[in-house]
Chain A
Amino acid sequence: MSYHCPVCNKVSSSAMDLARHMIGRGDKVHRDWISSKGFKYSEFLTLQFKSFGGEGYKTLAKILEKETKVED
Chain B
Amino acid sequence: MSKYSVIGKRVHRVDGPEKVTGSAKYTFDIVLHNMLYGKILRSPYPHARIVNIDTSQAERLIGVKAVVTGKDTLGRKQSTWRRFPELCDEEILCRTKVRYIGDPVAAVAAIDEDTAEEALDLIEVEYELLPAVFDPMEAIKEEAPQIHEGVELNINVTRHIEWGDVDEAFKQCDYIREDHFKCSSQAHVCMETHCAVASFGYDSKLTIWTSTQSSYYIQALVADMLGLREGDVRVIKPHTGGGFGSKFELDSAQFCASLLSMKLCQPVKIVLSREEEFTATKRRTPMYYSVKLGAKKDGTMLAKEVRVITEGGAYTGMGATALYLTGFFSSFPYKYPNYRYDGYRAYTNTAPASAMRGFGAPQSTFVGESQIDMLAEDLGIDPIEIRRKNGMTPDYEVPGQAHIQSCGLHQCLDKIDEHIKERGELPPNRGIGVSAYGFMSGGIFNWFDTPYAFSAAIVRINIDGKVDLFTGACDIGQGSDTTLSMICAEELGVHLDDIRIHAADTGICPADLGAWGSRETLMNGNAVKMAAADAKRQLLEFAAAKLGANIVYDMDIKDQWVHMVDRPERGLSYFDIVKDTIRGRDGETIIGRGHYTPHRKGMISPAYSFGVQAAEVEVDTETGKYKLINVTTAHESGTVINPVGIEGQLEGAVMMAGGYGFCEDQPMDEGKILNPSIADYKLIRSLDMPETKILEVDTYEPEGPFGAKEAGEGLTNPTAGAIGNAVYKAVGVRINDLPITPEKVLKALKEKKQQAE
In their complex, do chains A and B touch, with some C-beta pair under 8 Å? yes
List 10 tightest A-B contacts by C-beta distance, closest first.
A24-B158, A20-B160, A52-B292, A52-B305, A42-B153, A42-B152, A45-B153, A42-B142, A41-B152, A48-B342
Q: List 29 A-B contacts (CB under 8 A).
A: A23-B158, A24-B160, A26-B151, A26-B152, A26-B158, A27-B86, A27-B150, A28-B150, A31-B152, A42-B152, A42-B153, A45-B140, A45-B152, A45-B344, A46-B153, A48-B342, A48-B344, A49-B140, A49-B307, A49-B309, A49-B344, A52-B290, A52-B292, A52-B305, A52-B307, A53-B167, A54-B340, A54-B342, A57-B342
Q: How far is the CA of A57 from the CA of B340 in the complex (A)?
A: 13
Q: How far is the CB of B293 from chain A (nearest CB, A)?
A: 11
Closest residue of A by beta carbon distance from B160:
A20
Q: How far is the CB of A18 from chain B (nearest CB, A)?
A: 12
- The tally of residues in B whose CB lies under 8 Å from a CB in A reads 22
Per-position binary interface string of chain A over residues 19-57, scored 1 when its CB falls under 8 Å from any chain B CB and 0 otherwise = 010011011100100000000011001101100111001
In the complex, what residues of A have CB within 8 A of residue B157's CB?
24
Instruction: State the B residues within 8 Å of A (CB).
Output: 86, 140, 142, 150-153, 155, 157-160, 167, 178, 290, 292, 305, 307, 309, 340, 342, 344
Q: How far is the CB of A48 from chain B (nearest CB, A)?
A: 6
Q: How far is the CA of A46 from the CA of B290 in the complex (A)?
A: 15
Question: Assuming A42-B153, A45-B140, what are 11 further A-B pairs, CB within 8 angstroms?
Answer: A26-B151, A42-B152, A45-B153, A46-B140, A48-B307, A49-B309, A52-B178, A52-B292, A54-B340, A54-B342, A57-B342
Most B CB atoms within 10 A — which of A23, A46, A49? A49
What is the predominant secondary structure among interface residues of chain B facing chain A? strand
- The tally of residues in A whose CB lies under 8 Å from a CB in B reads 17
Q: How far is the CB of A11 from chain B (nearest CB, A)?
A: 16
Q: How far is the CB of A21 from chain B (nearest CB, A)?
A: 9
Q: How far is the CA of A48 from the CA of B346 in the complex (A)?
A: 14
In the complex, what residues of A have CB within 8 A of residue B158's CB?
20, 23-24, 26
In the complex, what residues of A have CB within 8 A of residue B151's CB?
26
Q: How far is the CB of A8 from chain B (nearest CB, A)?
A: 13
In the complex, what residues of B have CB within 8 A of residue A24's CB?
157-160
Closest residue of A by beta carbon distance from B307:
A52
List residues of A (49-72) whose CB comes within 8 Å of B's CBs.
Answer: 49, 52-54, 57
Q: How far is the CA of A31 from the CA of B153 in the complex (A)?
A: 12
Closest residue of B by beta carbon distance from A53:
B167
Q: How far is the CB of A44 from chain B (nearest CB, A)?
A: 10
Closest residue of A by beta carbon distance from B340:
A54
In the complex, what residues of B have CB within 8 A of residue A42's CB?
142, 152-153
In the complex, what residues of A have CB within 8 A of residue B178's CB?
52
Q: Are A26 and B155 in contact (CB under 8 A)?
A: yes
Q: How far is the CA of A37 from the CA of B152 in the complex (A)?
A: 18
In the complex, what residues of B have CB within 8 A of residue A26's CB?
151-152, 155, 158
Q: How far is the CB of A43 from chain B (nearest CB, A)?
A: 9
Closest residue of A by beta carbon distance from B178:
A52
In the complex, what residues of B have CB within 8 A of residue A49's CB?
140, 307, 309, 344
Most B CB atoms within 10 A — which of A20, A41, A45, A52? A52
Q: Are B86 and A45 in contact (CB under 8 A)?
A: no
Q: How far is the CA of A23 from the CA of B152 in the complex (A)?
A: 11
Closest residue of A by beta carbon distance from B288:
A49
Q: How far is the CA of A34 from the CA of B380 in the complex (A)?
A: 48
In the complex, what residues of B have CB within 8 A of residue A20's CB?
158, 160
Q: How far is the CB of B613 from chain A (nearest CB, A)?
A: 29
In the complex, what residues of B have CB within 8 A of residue A57's CB?
342
